[in-house]
Amino acid sequence: MGDFVSVEVADQIATIRIDRPKMNAISGQVHREIAEVAAIVDADPQVHAVILYGGARVFAAGADIKEMSGMSYADMSLYCAALQASLNTVARIGKPVIAAITGYALGGGCELALCADFRVAGESAKLGQPEIQLGVIPGAGGTQRLPRLIGPARAKDLIFSGRHVAAAEALAMGLVDRVVPDDQVYTAALEWASTFTGGPAVALRAAKQAVDQGLETDLDTGLEIERLHFSGLFATDDAKAGMRAFTDKTKATFTGR
């Protein structure tokens, strides 16, 4: 699609691939291209699941420090807003998204992985938010998505120290969901993504929105979000097909309508 980010679709699974040698540093151009392909796969009815992948060597080692180092406050205020908007586009893909993490996922790379619903990491992968070592803090969602995922104390440990977390520790703290041999990361992500193909796409989108939106509000409001999504799904062909298959003791065929 772009110079550094591409998307391939096969068997209802879209792979968003970052390829910016040597370390997939996330520059302004890269995050804009990520947002462009994220919007495309979100709108494509043929895509049922998405994989974020940086290749066999590295997921993304962070932001492009050379690009940012000369920016003023005014420059960075605009840049950061655009960066957050790009990653928000990934987080709001209305389909299951899996980050396939090899090598490093640091800084902006870790923040990109946090936008996924699930994270599969290789055994030698390293994750972290090292921005504090540059005299700054995470600016692409790390201070917000990380504590929501692993809790405030663990998030503060990583953000305050800037340390890199090995895959085993990342799994123990809930930062990643599965750890596999390095050469099996993409295959594991692909197998996981395949479990969502052929499913009720409208219901999956509703489920993701209900969970994500509900986490941002109080319980009563979250329950109302759930009620509205749940009730609305009764207008879909998929709900009718699923319930009919249940009563007939057959397997449902979903059409995403």
- Report the catalytic residues: 111, 131
Give the three-state DSSP class for 34.
Answer: helix
b/e map of 227-250 (b: 16 or more CB within 10 Å)?
A: eebeeebeebebbebbeeeeeeee
- CA distances, 16 to each of 33, 87, 176 (Å): 10, 13, 19
Pinpoint the alpha helices (H) of the chain.
28-43, 65-68, 73-91, 108-114, 142-150, 152-161, 167-173, 185-194, 201-214, 219-232, 237-248
Stretch (H or E) spanning 127: strand 126-128
Query: Nearest-CA neighbor of 241 among 252, 255, 231, 233?
Result: 252
3-state secondary structure of 213: helix
